Amino acid sequence: MPVDHFSFSVEDTFKLRYLINDDWQKESNAPIFFYTGNEGNIEIFAENTGLMWESAPEFGALLVFAEHRYYGDSMPYGNKSYSDGKYLGYLTSQQALGDYIDLIQYLKSTPQTRLSPVIVFGGSYGGMLSAWIRMKYPHIIQGAIAASAPILQLSGAVECDSFARIVAMDFKMAHPNCPKLIQRSWSTITNVTSSDKGKQWLSDNWKLCEPLKNETHIKQLKDYLQDIYSNLAMVDYPYKANFLAPLPAYPVNAVCKHLTNESLTGTDLLTAIHKAINVYTNYTGETKCLNLNDSTPQLDAVGWNYQACTEMVMPTCSNGINDMFEAAPWNFDEYAKDCEKKYSVKPQPNLACEQYGCAFLSTATNIVFSNGLLDPWTAGGIVRNLSSSAIAIIIPEGAHHLDLRSSDANDPYSVVLARKYHRFFIRQWIKEYPLIQGSMGN
User: Could you tell me if residue 414 is inside a domain?
Assistant: yes
Using a CB cutoff of 8 Å and minimum separation of 24, what contacts does 212-220 make?
217/292, 218/189, 218/190, 218/193, 220/292, 220/293
Same domain, 111 and 169: no
Asked whether residue 10 is assigned to any structural domain, the reply reads no
Active site residue 333: no
* Residue 80 DSSP class: G
Domain that holds residue 337: 161-343
65 plus 121 within the same structural domain: yes
pLDDT by residue for the chain (442 residues), tens only, comes to 999 999 999 999 999 999 999 999 989 999 999 999 999 999 999 999 999 999 999 999 999 999 999 999 999 999 999 999 999 999 999 999 999 999 999 999 999 999 999 999 999 999 999 999 999 999 999 999 999 999 999 977 799 999 999 999 999 999 999 999 999 999 999 999 999 999 999 999 999 999 999 999 999 999 999 999 999 999 999 999 988 889 999 999 999 999 999 999 999 999 999 999 999 999 998 889 998 887 777 667 789 999 999 999 999 999 999 999 999 999 999 999 999 999 999 999 999 999 998 878 888 999 999 999 999 999 999 999 998 899 999 999 999 999 999 999 999 999 999 999 999 999 999 999 876 665 555 5
| Residue finishing a domain among 294, 323, 343 | 343
Q: Do 70 and 111 belong to one domain?
A: yes
Q: How far apart are CA 349 and CA 339, in angstroms?
A: 12
Would you give the DSSP letter of residue 376? G
Q: 93 and 181 share a domain? A: no
Amino acid at 15: K
Are 119 and 49 part of one and the same domain?
yes
Q: Which residue is catalytic, options 55, 81, 93, 124? A: 124
Residues 51 and 187 in one domain: no
C-alpha distances (whole Å) from 215 to each of 42, 176, 267 are 37, 31, 19
Q: Does residue 277 sit in the same domain as residue 175?
A: yes
Which residue, 86, 192, 65, is CA-closest to 130? 65
Q: Do 133 and 82 lie in a common domain?
A: yes
Separation between Cα atoms, residue 66 and residue 71, nearest integer Å: 11
Residue pair 224/189 in contact (Cβ under 8 Å)? The answer is no
Asked which of 313, 343, 373 is the last residue of a domain, the reply is 343
Residue 403 known to be catalytic: no
Last-in-domain residue among 343, 376, 409: 343
Out of 323, 375, 403, 411, pick the active-site residue. Answer: 375
Structural domains counted in the chain: 2
Catalytic residue among 400, 401, 403, 422: 400
224: CB partners within 8 A, 6+ apart: 292, 295
Q: Among this protein's residues, is 204 annotated catalytic?
A: no
Are residues 366 and 330 part of one domain? Answer: no
Distance CA 19, CA 76 (A): 18
Q: Which CATH number does the domain housing residue 110 bear?
A: 3.40.50.1820
CATH number of the structural domain spanning residue 218: 1.20.120.980
